[in-house]
Amino acid sequence: MGSESKSFDFLKEIGLGSSNIGSYVNGQWKASGSSVTSVNPSNNQTIAEVTEATLQDYEEGLQACSEAAKTWMTIPAPKRGEIVRQIGEALRAKLDPLGRLVSLEMGKILAEGIGEVQEIIDMCDYAVGLSRQLNGSIIPSERPDHMMFEVWNPLGIVGVITAFNFPCAVLGWNACIALVCGNCVVWKGAPTTPLITIAVTKLVAEVLEKNNLPGAIFTSFCGGADIGQAIAKDTRIPLVSFTGSTKVGLMVQQTVSERFGKCLLELSGNNAIIVMDDADIKLAVRSILFAAVGTAGQRCTTCRRLFLHESIYTNVLDQLVGLYKQVKIGNPLEKGTLVGPLHTRTSVENFQKGISTIKSQARKILTGGSVLESEGNFVQPTIVEISADAPVVKEELFGPVLYVMKFQTLEEAIALNNSVPQGLSSSIFTQRPGTIFKWIGPRGSDCGIVNANIPTNGAEIGGAFGGEKATGGGREAGSDSWKQYMRRSTCTINYGSELPLAQGINFG
């Protein structure tokens, strides 16, 4: 497994070798595409090789998945929940090596890597309970001797296309719910995190095999844009969940909509924190640090814009700059590291281009702004003083860059928060209840996630996750997100001998 094979021994615990097959089709590992390299972003050295799927592999997988759906949807929901419970137990047994793999291949620090795998486990636990609560409503009928109610049934197959920054947690948001709702899952993992896709699939496959269920209930592919496009175009897949950029998400949405399919989109975020004059400054500064530099700024919920009340502007900024200068940047698997590498060399190039643009528009770069000299993809977390009118502030630079701006009134701060195309996450720091309720009310934040006195990132699985505007409008994970993975039928049954019509119509 490359020159660092000794430090990669844990990969054997999760079924990975130096060469790996990158698609699980009809209960078998097979792939006939080209070989790609999984790279460690800390040093850009090879971790392992993966053979990707072709469109021929995809078609074979979808045919088998379509057949498996006929079996899976007829299994009672609580029994499906039992299978998901076992998947959660399988993941729990491999929590540490899977977390290490996330850290190694994606680049996030070990605590975050383990936390990501824990998120799938939590989703499995959540879905098990949900499997006994897929309830429809009973609706009073205006007609005598009639019963009207809702019935929820599976869609059939759910396609899940995930991104590199959360290479397995987002699968959990979708797959755990989709499975208990009676759907088969087709997963295309991120092209740059194929080992995570394979390792998670292996555990799911073992559970299905142990229970004598068709392996095609869960089909996965490592591959490029051609596989993603095939999922988007495929009329056998009624629902496609896509996580990625707004640009690509719009193309996916258009393709799926052309065939009257449904989309769940989790796209770009340009998230803001507002710090009011009465805020707990210590709490705010700690939250901003995690929100802005966690995962090296590569979360969709990363804080990218910071609005500080003019009365506490200097105090907060001085503390924040001081903390930034103490942040340990380095190998994400090493104890004490808070910021790992950007995921790819392309990410570093985008960071450099972004900083160049920022320099032409910003008032001042207070700290950071440079690429570190190393074999890996390390950059300095950056704080920028800038005008809210600067064009670059409206865009999402996917890295640890924080734009800082000053405001005078709550109304001004809310307007600034809402002034960007994206609408994912937002948070305000204040101790005034009235301010909080204005913030979460109809004239407050226009985001899908609206927090108070916590960071913009680190969402719990119990709530529906997603955003508005250019973030895509999708909702995944908790609350009533499950309804998107099923089709609703309104059923009316006449148990009498007369035929009264609705609205009092007399027809002959």
The rounded Cα 389 to chain-centroid distance in angstroms is 29
Confidence (pTM): 0.96
SS3 213: coil
pLDDT at 6: 59
Domains recognised in the chain with CATH numbers: 9-267+472-489 (3.40.605.10), 271-460 (3.40.309.10)
Q: What digits encode the pLDDT tens for the residues 258-286?
A: 999 999 999 999 999 999 999 999 999 99
Nearest to 22 by CA among 145, 280, 202, 257: 202
Give the strand order in the sheet containing 303-309. 364-367, 382-385, 401-407, 303-309, 271-275, 425-429, 449-452
Nearest to 213 by CA among 330, 304, 79: 79
Average pLDDT over residues 250-256: 98
pLDDT at 4: 52
SS3 464: strand
Average pLDDT over residues 460-486: 97
Q: What digits encode the pLDDT tens for the residues 406-435?
A: 999 999 999 999 999 999 999 999 999 999
* Distances 310 to 274, 284, 406, 419, 428 between C-alpha atoms, Å: 11, 15, 6, 19, 15
pLDDT at 508: 75
pLDDT at 3: 44
Which among 49, 60, 119, 266 is annotated as catalytic? 266
Average pLDDT over residues 216-230: 98
The CA distance from 224 to 31, in Å, is 13
Tokens 């097959």 belong to 21
* Distances 109 to 102, 144, 343, 363 between C-alpha atoms, Å: 9, 63, 12, 32
Nearest to 189 by CA among 260, 102, 123: 102
Average pLDDT over residues 235-247: 97
Q: What digits encode the pLDDT tens for the residues 191-220?
A: 999 999 999 999 999 999 999 999 999 999
Has 310 been annotated as catalytic? no
- Complete DSSP assignment for 341-390: --SSHHHHHHHHHHHHHHHHH-SEEEE---B-SSSS--B--EEEE--TT-
pLDDT at 204: 98
pLDDT at 5: 52
Return the C-alpha torsion angle 471, 475, 476, 481, nearest 10. Answer: 180
pLDDT at residue 396 above 50?
A: yes
- Check if the beta carbon of residue 225 is closer than 8 Å to that of residue 37: no
- Check if the beta carbon of residue 128 is closer than 8 Å to that of residue 86: no
Q: What digits encode the pLDDT tens for the residues 56-88?
A: 999 999 999 999 999 999 999 999 999 999 999
Q: Structure tokens of 123?
A: 């989703």
The CA distance from 500 to 494, in Å, is 9
pLDDT at residue 326 above 60?
A: yes
Q: Structure tokens of 482?
A: 């499950």
Tell me the percentage of the chain whose pLDDT exceeds 90: 97
The CA distance from 404 to 362, in Å, is 10
Which residues share a beta bridge with 45? 40
pLDDT at residue 1 above 60?
A: no
Task: Tell me the pLDDT of the chain averaged across its residues.
Answer: 97
The model's confidence at residue 33, banded by pLDDT at 50, 70 and 90, is very high
Q: What digits encode the pLDDT tens for the residues 292-325?
A: 999 999 999 999 999 999 999 999 999 999 999 9
Average pLDDT over residues 167-174: 98
